[in-house]
Chains A and B, each alone.
Chain A
Amino acid sequence: TQLLEQSPQFLSIQEGENLTVYCNSSSVFSSLQWYRQEPGEGPVLLVTVVTGGEVKKLKRLTFQFGDARKDSSLHITAAQPGDTGLYLCAASNFGNEKLTFGTGTRLTIIP
């Protein structure tokens, strides 16, 4: 079973601060995705990374796929209350139809 561990599990910081959350596994993946889920809603895709070492930016969010394609990080610059939510990583492998989700990081940005 592919296990995706996210850390920290909970994170509460002040508006304007920077933060990084992590998604780690002992397995190698062909692609990895990050989602954000708000209360009462389904997860919404933020980004997909497929190449080891790949870095993608989405406004204040920076996503990186590890060189060995076993881990990923999400860095948020100058966090805003609108960034509050549950951040989930998810990964898959070619030939395996399953998209496995991580354990999640619950982020709260305090105004």
Chain B
Amino acid sequence: DTAVSQTPKYLVTQMGNDKSIKCEQNLGHDTMYWYKQDSKKFLKIMFSYNNKELIINETVPNRFSPKSPDKAHLNLHINSLELGDSAVYFCASSPKSYREAFFGQGTRLTVV
């Protein structure tokens, strides 16, 4: 069983489009995250949710809107995609905040 799964794995889309990435974890963790990894492999946190509530929003443009329907799911919707949004987006979960993170396989987003 995949612990943290995100879909799709690859996403190619045109500038200006709206897209969503889905994430689910079956670990029973309370905390979920979205991270962005740039071309230099630097991992930067975007959002953190604890039991469906937003805890961290790291100065992310408001074109990015996370949604957590329940504590096992954290989806990411992106409006009006820009070229600079191209990156690998990782979903992760932790048993508690500030503890070890378990990552999904990533979604490689390419905006053309």
Q: How many residues of A contact B (CB 8 A)?
A: 26
Q: Is the CB of A42 within 8 A of B104?
A: yes
Interface positions, chain B 24-70, Cβ under 8 Å from A, are: 31, 33, 35, 41-45, 48, 50, 55-56, 58
Interface positions, chain A 67-111, Cβ under 8 Å from B, are: 86, 88, 90, 92-94, 96-101, 103-104, 106
**Taking CB as reference atom, which chain A residue is nearest B104?**
A42
Q: Which of A37, A48, A88, A100 contacts B100 (CB 8 A)?
A: A48
Q: How close is B80's CB to chain A, nearest CB, in angstroms?
A: 27
Q: Is the CB of B98 within 8 A of A92?
A: yes
Rounded to whole angstroms, the CA-CA distance of A96 and B98 in the bound complex is 7
Q: Is the CB of A100 within 8 A of B41?
A: no
Q: Which of A37, A43, A48, A97 contacts B55 (CB 8 A)?
A: A97
Rounded to whole angstroms, the CA-CA distance of A106 and B39 in the bound complex is 13
Q: Is the CB of B41 within 8 A of A41?
A: no
Q: Is the CB of B56 within 8 A of A98?
A: yes
A-B contact pairs, 11 of them (CB 8 A): A33-B100, A37-B41, A41-B106, A42-B4, A42-B103, A43-B90, A90-B101, A96-B98, A98-B58, A99-B33, A99-B45
- Tell me the B residues contacting A by CB distance below 8 Å: 4, 31, 33, 35, 41-45, 48, 50, 55-56, 58, 90, 92, 94, 97-106
